[in-house]
């Protein structure tokens, strides 16, 4: 009888161990981002090293879809664990109760640039909208700031602008119209749209990074507003493009955890790794987007560093994510109506 009990106990312990090991092996994080080269770099810099170090599998998904995220949370059937979103959406989603609060005993909040961290989100990376131009189209004429977009006589040709109603275009229009950087908000929408009216017929709109690059490299657009990483990639490929960093407009992507994530603890660990000094530097060195971790700068490739927003802080204007979180939906309505006029 005693022997049978011992055998039973050993068998029970073995079953428990197998069950625990299987649970650990099955632990995973579903990571959602925007696809393309950015998500490829996130996989290389964050997901693969994280899985190797922890044994937690990172499943890639995407693209990011705000409507889908909200629907998952509302239904209680959340399939995503970590989602890369725009900074203004991160704040709006938190206010709407769509996100889990972050555990800063796991994530090192004090190492993150305060501009890019909140109770419900930690920076993925930050980037700048910069003035890019095609040198073969403009010749010796070198545009210096956003006013060049509105000077069609000196700088002829089409202007490439971001077509979505989000931080950037309205601000650059106001800056070009003489509004001081510290007086941008609240945005004077009437003034911004009036300024954009002056070049509306000359604008070609881009909705994604690859499209923006094609417009500039081909010369279809002489100059415009671009993500700094896309300009750097064109220069690396030998395209005849230049860049002005004056009044570069800082925007950020934020990593969030949807409310009701089934793998919240593993997601917290993933965020801690992705926002670490090494994780951020590795991603920046692959993409030319800037790290949110203040200790990452020393780890940046010395050749790449001059092409990052971190090198142009004095000429930098950080877009007001909180303003856009509060007012973005109303602005979007007006923006879409203006596009159709």
- Is residue 203 assigned to a domain? yes
Residues 242 and 190 in one domain: yes
CA dist., res. 159 & res. 152, Å (int): 9
> Is position 50 within any domain?
yes
Is the bond into 83 cis (omega within 30 degrees of 0)?
Answer: no
244-297 pLDDT, tens digit per residue, is: 999 999 999 999 999 999 999 999 999 999 999 999 999 999 998 999 999 999
**Is 119 a domain residue?**
yes
Tell me, yes or no, whether 54 and 65 share the same domain: yes
Element (H, E) at 60: strand 57-61
Say yes or no: 332 and 194 in one domain: yes
* Count of domains for the chain: 2
* 196 and 107 in a common domain: no
Give me the pLDDT at residue 26, please: 63
Decide if 105 is inside a domain. Answer: yes
Same domain flag for 112 and 145:
no
Residues 331 and 297 in one domain: no
Residues 105 and 55 in one domain: yes
pLDDT of the residue at 13: 44
Same domain, 59 and 162: no
23 falls within a domain: yes
In whole angstroms, give the CA distance from residue 49 to residue 206: 34
**Same domain for 109 and 87:** yes
Does 319 fall in a domain? no
Let me know whether 201 and 283 are in one domain: no
Residues 94 and 175 in one domain: no
Q: Which domain holds residue 159?
A: 127-251+327-340
Whole-Å CA distances, 75 to 29, 33, 68, 203, 227 = 20, 21, 10, 41, 35
Residues with Cβ within 8 Å of 173's Cβ and at least 6 positions away in sequence, in order, are 146, 150, 192, 193, 195, 196
Three-state DSSP at 164 gives coil
Quick one: pLDDT at residue 11? 45
Q: 198 and 216: one domain?
A: yes
**How many residues in the chain?**
341
CA pseudo-torsion sign 292, 61, 102, 319: positive
Domain assignment present for residue 320? The answer is: no
Question: CA 168, 174, 179, 185 torsion: positive or negative?
Answer: negative
In a domain, 321, yes or no: no
**Does the structure show a pLDDT above 50 at 242?**
yes
DSSP states of 167-195 as a string?
Answer: TTHHHHHHHHTT--GGG--S--HHHHHHH
Torsion of CA 229, 235, 236, 238, to 10 degrees: 150
**The domain spanning residue 89 has which CATH number?**
3.40.190.10
- Chain segment 10-57, per-residue pLDDT in tens: 444 444 443 444 444 469 999 999 988 889 999 999 999 999 999 999
Q: Which residues contact 117 (CB under 8 A, 6 or more apart)?
A: 109, 123, 292
Q: What is the pTM of this model?
A: 0.86
């Amino acid at each position: 009888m005693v022997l049978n009990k011992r055998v039973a106990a050993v068998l029970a312990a073995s079953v428990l161990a197998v069950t625990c090991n299987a649970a650990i092996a099955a632990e995973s994080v579903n990571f959602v981002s925007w696809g393309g080269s950015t998500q490829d770099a996130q996989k290389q810099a964050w997901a693969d090293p994280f899985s190797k170090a922890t044994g937690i599998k990172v499943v890639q998904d995407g693209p990011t879809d705000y409507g889908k995220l909200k629907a998952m949370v509302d239904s209680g059937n959340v399939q995503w664990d970590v989602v890369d979103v725009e900074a203004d959406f991160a704040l709006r989603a938190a206010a709407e109760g769509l996100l889990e609060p972050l555990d800063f005993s796991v994530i090192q909040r004090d190492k993150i640039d305060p501009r890019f961290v909140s109770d419900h989100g930690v920076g993925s990376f930050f980037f700048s909208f910069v003035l890019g131009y095609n040198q073969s189209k403009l010749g010796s004429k070198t545009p210096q700031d956003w006013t060049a977009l509105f000077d069609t006589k000196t700088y002829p040709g089409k202007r490439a602008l971001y077509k979505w109603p989000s931080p950037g275009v309205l601000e650059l229009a106001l800056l070009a119209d003489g509004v001081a950087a510290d007086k941008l908000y609240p945005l004077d929408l009437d003034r911004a749209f009036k300024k954009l009216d002056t070049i509306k017929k000359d604008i070609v709109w881009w909705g994604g990074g690859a499209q923006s690059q094609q417009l500039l490299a081909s010369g279809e657009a002489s100059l415009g507003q671009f993500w700094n990483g896309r300009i750097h990639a064109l220069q690396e490929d030998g395209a005849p493009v230049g860049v002005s960093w004056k009044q570069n407009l800082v925007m950020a992507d934020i990593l969030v955890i949807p409310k009701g994530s089934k793998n919240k603890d593993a997601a917290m660990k993933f965020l801690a790794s992705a926002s670490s000094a090494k994780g951020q530097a590795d991603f920046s060195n692959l993409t030319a987007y800037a790290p949110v971790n203040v200790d990452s700068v020393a780890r940046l490739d010395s050749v790449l560093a001059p092409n990052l927003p971190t090198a142009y802080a004095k000429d930098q204007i950080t877009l007001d994510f909180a303003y856009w979180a509060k007012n973005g939906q109303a602005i979007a309505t007006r923006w879409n109506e203006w596009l159709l006029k």
